Structures are given as structure tokens and as C-alpha cells.
């Protein structure tokens, strides 16, 4: 059988495209190299707890159209992301807000907090930041930087903050209210029952093959579709002929514990460099679970090697320039549509993935 579209990748981008194509009467085949659908938003139900297998995913958006769209496929709860940071034996609220400043400096008013930050900025004497450390101190002062940014960022990137370029931190939001809501977006929540269910509904009635590598599959089925939507790595598609795009990788250590509540919050960041993981996720708190046990995941960022699962694109000048070269090369293959996090070499929040997929549909259907 020949299809209108072969979609490579059963993640959110591929699933939205597949759903919209089918709705428009197109024939669609979806393949994925993993043994499951839903890509990095895959959640696995373990005795009633939906475990975010590839790290914490909180849906948030200010785009009502996207919010209404995604709500066609799930009912969302009223979860608000309010992470906590631990530095040594001290505990702080995130994002940086009056609760954070009050704990740091024993102050009560926004005026006092602003004065303290300004005093530390001036004392730093940094006018022209040359690296990430200088950039952060010039934005938020030394105390916030040393306790809540430095170690976490160095673990995330695997580099000393003095070796990282200043542009990584363009701004650091400071909130002078006692508000622990991490996002400023109008809409926020977790799908009741987990994210996998959303993708199952998007792909309902569509043929899906998991455990299927694109290169092997296309060799055996070269004329399977008129067009291909490719959500894998753009450089891998072209056999890395222009060079390898770089990523940071993350791996997770899951643990089931015989306690009903391990850390009291879904997300707790560990900001000391000496602690090897960046954060611990306690999955039951995303959906207000009442189970008498819990499941936690420790998150470890590490160097990415070719052939491993890529997570965060390293969007520095060198990699962005290489990606643009691949975009030029992709014009030689008009039958291939590149999209999603890996196809566009871009870190996307979930709402932006949905937005981009819907735009791609409008452009190509």
C-alpha cells in the first residue's frame, strides 16, 4: 500500500500532524524506533502513578487556541508548577521571588529585595559580562547566583560557568511578589491519566509501527509514501555529511519507595555542583496521588555521544550555523518535511510543538 504521508516519530509533533492529515482524508503511516508512542512525553502507569519516563513535563501556554486544541484529547487538572531548590541544608522557592529573597536575606518588602540585588550588582563592578558567571551576577547579584544558579547550570552544561558564553542567560526573571508559580502563562496543568493517552487519541485509527528504524524501513519500502514528515535528527537523516550537531543528554534513575510522600513536591532542584543529579521528580504529586508508596526519578545530565538519545540542543553559534547549512541541504529533498525538536534543532515547550505542527499542517496540506 502507498500512503500520502509517512510520519517518522510518534511524538507530539508527529501525532498532531498525523491526526490533522487523517482528518483531511489523507492516508498516513506512523513509524517510531522506540517500543512505544508519545516520544519524550511518554508516561507509564505504574500501579496508578503516571511516571514521566523522560523527565517532568508540565503543559503551559498563553495561546488559547493551543490550550483548547489539546483539551480535545485530555482533561487537565489544576497543577501549578512550583519547584523548590535545595542548596546544602537550605531550601528555597523558585522562581526567584519574594519567598526566595526573604529566606536569603531575612527581608520583608520588595523595596528591600531590589536594593539588595542592586547593591550586589554594583559591588560586582561588571559592566561588560564576558561569560555566563559574569552575566548572571550582573543580573541578579552574587547570593542568588552562587546558591541557586552556579552549580545547577554547571551540572546542566557539564562546564564551569566561567567557560560558558554569556548569551546562554539573556535574562533571569525576578518576581517581587510572594508567588511560587514558575510559569507566567495563562493556562497550565497536567493531563489526568498522563500524556500517553493524548497521543493514543491523536493516533486513533492510524496505522503505527513501533520498533521501526527509518533507514531500514525506507530501504525495504522506498516508495511507501508521497511525502515524509521526519521528526528525527536532521543531521542523522543526511548521514552527518556536514558534521554532527551537539546535544546534552539526560538519564534517569527511577526508584520505588515505601513511603507515601518522599519530598513533598513534584520537582526539587539540587543546586550544588557536588550533588551529581540536577533534580528529583516525585511523579505522584503531578496528579495529587494518594498511594501509600511513591516513585522518584533522579535526573543526571551528561555529555551526548552520537548514537545516544539526544535531549537538549546546544544552540551556540557554531551549532546554529551548522543547522542552517542542513536547512539549505534539506531544500534538495522537497518531499521531506522536517519538524519537531530534533528536525528543527530547537528546544520546544509542548505548546510550541503543537503550534509548530499545526502551522506545518497548514503549509503542507
Catalytic residue among 248, 249, 251, 312: 248
121 is annotated as an active-site residue: no
Bridge partners, residue 84, by sequence: 93, 268
349 is annotated as an active-site residue: yes
d(CA 265, CA 131): 33
d(CA 361, CA 85): 40
Residue 158 contacts residue 133 (beta carbons within 8 Å): no
Q: Cβ-count burial of 303 within 10 angstroms (0-12 exposed, 13-18 middle, 19+ buried)? A: exposed
54 is annotated as an active-site residue: no
213 is annotated as an active-site residue: no
187 is annotated as an active-site residue: no
Pairing of strands 43-46, 59-61: unpaired
d(CA 105, CA 108): 9
248 is annotated as an active-site residue: yes
d(CA 76, CA 80): 11
Q: Tell me the three cell numbers of residue 325.
A: 547549512
Catalytic residue among 171, 258, 292, 335: 171
Catalytic residue among 87, 175, 287, 341: 175
249 is annotated as an active-site residue: no
Q: If DSSP codes are grouped into helix, strand and coil, which group holds residue 256?
A: strand
Question: Which helix (DSSP H) or strand (DSSP E) does residue 174 occupy?
Answer: none
Catalytic residue among 4, 200, 236, 349: 349
DSSP characters for 101-130? HHHHH---SHHHHHHHHHHHHHHHT-SS--
Catalytic residue among 20, 235, 246, 299: 299
Closest CA to 81 of 182, 175, 172, 191: 182
Catalytic residue among 279, 326, 341, 355: 279
Closest CA to 357 of 1, 7, 4, 2: 7
Q: Tell me the three cell numbers of residue 154.
A: 554547571
Residue 284 contacts residue 295 (beta carbons within 8 Å): yes
Catalytic machinery residues: 171, 175, 248, 279, 299, 347, 349
Amino acid at each position: 500500500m502507498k500512503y500520502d504521508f509517512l510520519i517518522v516519530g510518534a511524538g507530539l509533533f508527529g501525532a498532531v500532524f498525523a491526526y490533522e492529515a487523517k482528518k483531511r482524508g489523507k492516508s498516513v503511516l506512523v513509524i517510531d524506533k522506540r517500543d512505544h508512542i508519545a516520544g519524550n512525553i511518554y508516561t507509564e502507569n505504574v500501579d496508578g502513578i503516571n511516571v514521566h519516563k523522560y523527565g517532568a513535563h508540565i503543559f503551559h501556554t498563553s495561546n488559547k487556541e493551543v490550550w483548547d486544541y489539546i483539551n480535545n484529547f485530555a482533561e487537565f487538572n489544576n497543577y501549578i508548577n512550583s519547584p523548590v531548590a535545595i542548596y546544602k541544608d537550605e531550601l528555597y522557592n523558585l522562581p526567584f521571588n519574594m519567598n526566595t529573597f526573604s529566606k536569603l536575606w531575612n527581608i520583608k518588602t520588595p523595596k528591600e529585595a531590589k536594593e539588595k540585588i542592586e547593591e550586589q550588582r554594583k559591588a560586582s563592578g561588571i559592566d561588560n559580562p564576558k561569560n555566563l558567571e559574569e552575566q548572571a551576577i550582573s543580573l541578579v547579584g552574587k547570593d542568588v547566583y552562587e546558591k541557586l544558579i552556579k552549580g545547577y547550570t554547571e551540572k546542566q552544561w557539564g562546564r564551569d560557568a566561567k567557560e560558558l558564553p554569556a548569551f546562554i542567560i539573556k535574562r533571569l526573571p525576578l518576581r517581587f511578589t510572594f508567588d511560587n508559580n514558575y510559569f507566567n502563562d495563562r493556562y497550565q496543568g497536567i493531563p489526568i491519566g498522563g500524556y500517553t493517552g493524548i497521543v493514543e487519541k491523536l493516533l486513533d485509527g492510524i496505522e503505527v509501527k513501533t520498533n521501526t528504524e527509518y533507514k531500514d524501513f525506507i530501504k525495504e519500502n522506498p516508495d511507501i509514501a508521497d511525502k515524509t514528515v521526519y521528526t528525527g535528527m536532521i543531521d542523522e537523516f543526511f548521514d552527518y555529511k556536514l558534521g554532527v550537531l551537539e546535544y546534552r543528554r539526560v538519564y534517569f534513575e527511577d526508584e520505588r519507595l515505601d513511603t507515601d510522600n518522599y519530598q513533598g513536591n513534584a520537582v526539587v532542584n539540587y543546586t550544588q555542583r557536588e550533588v551529581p543529579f540536577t533534580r528529583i521528580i516525585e511523579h505522584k504529586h503531578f496528579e495529587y496521588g494518594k498511594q501509600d508508596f511513591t516513585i522518584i526519578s533522579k535526573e543526571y545530565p551528561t555529555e551526548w555521544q552520537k548514537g545516544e538519545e539526544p535531549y537538549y540542543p546546544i544552540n551556540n553559534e557554531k551549532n546554529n550555523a551548522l543547522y542552517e547549512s542542513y536547512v539549505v541541504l534539506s531544500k534538495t529533498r522537497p518531499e521531506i518535511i522536517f519538524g519537531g525538536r530534533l528536525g528543527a534543532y530547537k528546544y520546544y515547550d509542548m505548546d510550541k510543538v503543537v503550534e509548530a505542527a499545526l502551522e506545518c499542517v497548514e503549509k503542507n496540506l
